[in-house]
Every structure is written in C-alpha cells, then in structure tokens.
Amino acid sequence: MLKRYIIILLVFIIGLFCISDTNTFAYIKVKSIIPSSAIIGTTYNGVKINIKGEISKNEELIIKVIGHKRDTHFKKKGKIWGILWMNIDDVVFTDLPSLYLVYTGDIPESMIKKMGFASLRKEINITSSFNDKNFLFNELIKLKRKEGLYCVRKDAIKYKKLDSKKEFDCSVFLPAKLLPGTYQIKFIAIKNGKIAENITLPLQARLEGLPKLISYLAFQHSTIYGIMAVLIAIIAGLIMGIIFKGGKGSH
C-alpha cells in the first residue's frame, strides 16, 4: 500500500515539473519602445520604432503591429461586352486592419505563413459575387504592400543569448500613410511550433503642428476650413498665372 502511494506521489511531482516546463519558462518582457509614440507632423514621412526586451531562451518571437479595424469597400472593374471597362462588383472586406506589420526572427517558413497573412485571412470576411475570395485577398495584400501598410519581414528580430533567456531587438517602420489613432503591438512567443505566451501593448499615433490644425479646422470649423481652401486655391492660381505669363513674355 505504501509503495502505491509513493508511486502516485512521484507521478504527481513529475506532472508538476512538466507543467512548470510548459508555462513557467514561457515569458515575454518588453524593456523599451523608442519612441513611445508616433508624431505625425508637417515633415512626417514615416518613423522607425526600436523595440527591446527579453524572452525565454527556448522560444522564438513574432511581433505584430495592427491598426484599427473597419469595413473597407472596393469596386471591382471588368469589361462589359468585351470592350468597356466598368465597375462590375462591390467588394467588402469586413474588419480589415488599417495597418498589419509582421516581424519575425529566424523561424520556419511554414510558421511565418501561418502567423502572417494566413492568420489575417482567417480574421476577415470578404463579401463579393466573385467566387474566388482568395484571389481578391491576394490582390488586396499586393495593394497594401505597395502602400507600405502591410508587410511580413523575416530575420527582423535579432537575439543576444544569456543564461536562461535571450534579449531581442527589433526595428519596426511605421509608414508615411499612417493614420492617427491607437495601434496594437502584439508580442507572441512561439515554443515547439505553438503559441506559449502573448502580450499586447498600445502605441499612439497623434497629429501635431500644421496637420493637427488642418484636421481641427476640417472637423470642428468646416466653414473656416472651406474659406481657407478657396483662398489658397485662388492664391495658387494667381501665382501660377504670373509664372506662366512671365515665362511666355520672356520668349
């Protein structure tokens, strides 16, 4: 009887060690995000965010920067009677993030695909009369990549190994077309091909200077904004008229 209890106790202890191995050592610690926010000013043309932290030495990290989600509408063009290009369909992407940046270290290609655009494809719905929804999704990705709003970058996370953990360093580039608002930085630790831990931190993007003033006038004082727009257009027209008139007279 005593022998049986000893065996049960040993099994219980071994089980505790197994649980400890899969959970206790799975952790993510973010040390710094510099700069801590994105300032969209007059000369803004994108900004580089440097992120540093630690993870367990037997894990790999994936960093995602995700923008606010909304329904996005497109018009699908096609030929009518084989000669005229016209809008033939409405395409709606439901819950499409405004920004989707994925950064990884040296992990298998299959894991990159799974955690990259394949993961996004599962999160959104596509409404269209066109049957091949995957084709529409791939065309969307091409467009967003060209705009710099979507990307998947391998080997972007660098590591420095310590005793029981490793430090990570990653540079994230926020594009010129970034909109003001709150973005999410997701840190996902991968262990043995599975998600072991994940945390999410906010990143603010805010307008400053002239862009902030223009936005304020456009939404809060539309009349003043309209008058200013008309005056600027008139002044620009007069200047162009003088320039071209002067150029004509010089010949």
What is the architecture of the domain spanning 27-206? Sandwich (2.60)
CA distance 92 to 144: 15
Name the pLDDT band for 105 (thresholds 50, 70, 90): confident
For 109-168, the pLDDT digits (tens) are: 888 888 899 999 999 999 888 788 898 899 999 999 999 999 999 989 999 988 888 999
For 200-239, the pLDDT digits (tens) are: 999 999 887 655 445 555 555 466 656 666 666 777 677 7
pTM for the full predicted model: 0.73
Question: Beta strands of 145-180 (E only): which ranges?
Answer: 150-153, 157-161, 165-174
3-state secondary structure of 105: coil
Average pLDDT over residues 80-102: 76
CA distance 31 to 27: 13
Q: Residue ranges of the domains in the chain? A: 27-206
